[in-house]
Amino acid sequence: MLSIEEALKIILEQTPHLAEEEIALVGAAGRVLRRNAVSDLDLPPFDRARMDGYALRAADTEGATADHPARVRAIGEAAAGHAFDGEVGAGKAVRIMTGAPVPAGADAVQKIEVVRVLDDGWVEIGEAVKPGQFITPRGIEARAGEVMVAAGERITPSVAAVLASFGCARVIVSRRPRLALLSTGTELVEVGDKPGPSQIRNSNTYSLGGYAREAGAEIVSASLVRDDFDATREAIAEVLQEADVVMLSGGVSMGDYDLVKPVLRDLGAEVRVEKVAMHPGKPTVFALLGEKVIFGLPGNPVSVAVSFHLFARPALLKMQGASQIQLPRIHAYLTRPVKGAPPRRSHQPARLVISNGRAEAEPLKWSGSSDLVAFMRADALIIVPEDRPGLDEGELVEVIMLSK
Ligand code: AMP
Ligand code: MG
């Protein structure tokens, strides 16, 4: 049996990189950038007013107060998208709007709230300003030629805004992994069907599909297959035609009808991982068939989720060239004791709460690895080390944050 680290190492070493493609920035959300994005200009591109008010020379307002305002003469206007062309000399000011370039000669902006506009073209400044006040200097946010977003970063909404600011109308990203989901189990019926005696509804497709999409995959098919050698063989062979990754659930443990591994071997796939020293999720299978990646995840809904997050998610992200492929881990105080599963490393579903400013992990009450109802509330997994029969209340423990 492999340790989690050994299994993950094998998986990451063997998953191929997908090709790149050029796409429009509109619609690139969630994709992994494959080239550094470099700024083509300073940001802001000019000294920019941060307030509506008057641009002037700070020295002209020295000592100004509401009772003894400084008087300056208004000589023009600057608005966003429309600069004032002249220069602001001593004793002069320019009415300025937020986002406008600060005119030459001015070294500060005073906000309109403390300005009194007189009828004859003069304005009274009721509060002194310091040089630089209410000005965002050119280039403070970014310099032309700087790498703004590195290859390997995912395009989140705020990353997309940065790319847009630097003119990246088209971006080179990884192709999305084409994923086929195949749920094995004679007992399974589809969501729209009423299960008969000894049947259950297929739920894994919905959790796996959502997690995988969140990790950048495109679901090309989602189907059910009964526990029959030929049917399973045919179903896998068919979905392999259009998928980069096949993700099976169920049929990987030791039962008489657990046919995934024999079928994969029969198809000529190399099974590289078949058991991992973890709980839940021990019967996790990873196989390769040429360039195609196949995951055989356990059938139980909690096991499938744990196994996905530990192995399949990093593999999907690695295929896309992502630099951040692991879920974040933090430390949190345990609110109740939990049991371990030596010699396997255990993962206990938990809710994270911030209490008195510290992170606490509250283990969920779950009845076992089929308990998808309890798992619905999990936002983290408490790691119980492989050599610990349990963890104590109040202990500072490591937790993996789940994607929800
Ligand atoms: P298996 O790994 O095939 O032995 O399945 C383990 C348990 O998970 C069994 O109780 C199955 O009924 C259940 N199971 C398998 N596949 C699914 C699925 N797609 N959705 C919900 N439960 C499943
Ligand atoms: Mg089964």
Domain count, the chain: 4
Give burial (CB, 10 Å; 0-12/13-18/19+) of 225: buried
- Which bound ligand lies closest to the C-alpha atom of 228? 2
- Name 200's bridge partners: 188
Q: Tokens at residue 325, please?
A: 């492929």
* Residues with C-beta less than 6 Å from any ligand 1 atom: 183, 185, 187-188, 200, 202-204, 249-253, 255, 258, 298-301, 370
- The residue ranges of DSSP E strands in 90-131, in sequence order, are 92-96, 108-111, 115-117, 122-125
Q: How far is CA 140 from CA 45, 137, 156, 161, 198, in A?
A: 9, 6, 22, 17, 66
Pocket test for ligand 1, best of 200, 224, 375 (most atoms within 8 A of CB): 200
pLDDT band at 403 (very low <50, low <70, confident <90, very high): confident
- Which bound ligand lies closest to the C-alpha atom of 369? 1
- The residue ranges of DSSP E strands in 298-388, in sequence order, are 329-334, 338-339, 345-355, 358-363, 380-384
- Name 124's bridge partners: 71, 116
Share the mean pLDDT of the chain.
97
Same domain flag for 257 and 197: yes
Question: Per the domain annotation, does 36 fall within a domain?
Answer: yes
Same domain flag for 126 and 158: no
Same domain flag for 269 and 233: yes
Residue nearest ligand 1's atom 12 by CA: 187
pLDDT of residue 235: 98
* Predicted structure pTM score: 0.94
Residues with CB under 5 A from ligand 2 (ion): 185, 250-251, 299
Q: What is the pLDDT of residues 75-101, one digit of tens each?
A: 999 999 999 999 999 999 999 999 999
- Looking from the CA of residue 283, the nearest atom of ligand 1 is 2
Q: What is the pLDDT of residues 38-51, one digit of tens each?
A: 999 999 999 999 99
Mean pLDDT of 4-13: 98
| CA 160, 165, 166, 170 torsion-angle sign | positive
Question: Per the domain annotation, does 386 fall within a domain?
Answer: yes
Q: Tokens at residue 393, please?
A: 């209340």
Same domain flag for 147 and 157: yes
Asked if residue 404 has pLDDT above 70, the reply is no
For 373, other C-beta atoms within 10 Å of its C-beta total 10
Q: Tokens at residue 367, please?
A: 């009845």
Q: Using the mean position of ligand 1's atoms as its centre, give its distance from the Cα of residue 200 in Å.
A: 9
Q: What does DSSP assign to residue 276?
A: B
Residue nearest ligand 1's atom 16 by CA: 299
Q: Using the mean position of ligand 2's atoms as its centre, give its distance from the Cα of residue 137 in Å.
A: 64
Pocket test for ligand 1, best of 300, 369, 371, 376 (most atoms within 8 A of CB): 300
How far from chain centre, in Å, is Cα 317?
11
Domain that holds residue 157: 24-41+141-174
CATH label of the domain that carries residue 125: 2.170.190.11
Residue type, 195: P
Question: Per the domain annotation, does 324 fall within a domain?
Answer: no
- Looking from the CA of residue 298, the nearest atom of ligand 1 is 2
Same domain flag for 169 and 205: no
pLDDT of residue 297: 98
pLDDT of residue 224: 98
Q: What is the pLDDT of residues 278-330, one digit of tens each?
A: 999 999 999 999 999 999 999 999 999 999 999 999 999 999 999 999 999 99
For 297, other C-beta atoms within 10 Å of its C-beta total 28
- Looking from the CA of residue 252, the nearest atom of ligand 1 is 2
Q: What does DSSP assign to residue 229?
A: H
SS3 track for 231-255: HHHHHHHHHHCCCCEEEEECCCCCC
pLDDT of residue 129: 98
Q: What percent of the chain shows pLDDT beyond 70? A: 100
- Looking from the CA of residue 203, the nearest atom of ligand 1 is 20
CATH label of the domain that carries residue 338: 2.40.340.10
Pocket test for ligand 1, best of 186, 193, 204 (most atoms within 8 A of CB): 204
pLDDT of residue 160: 98
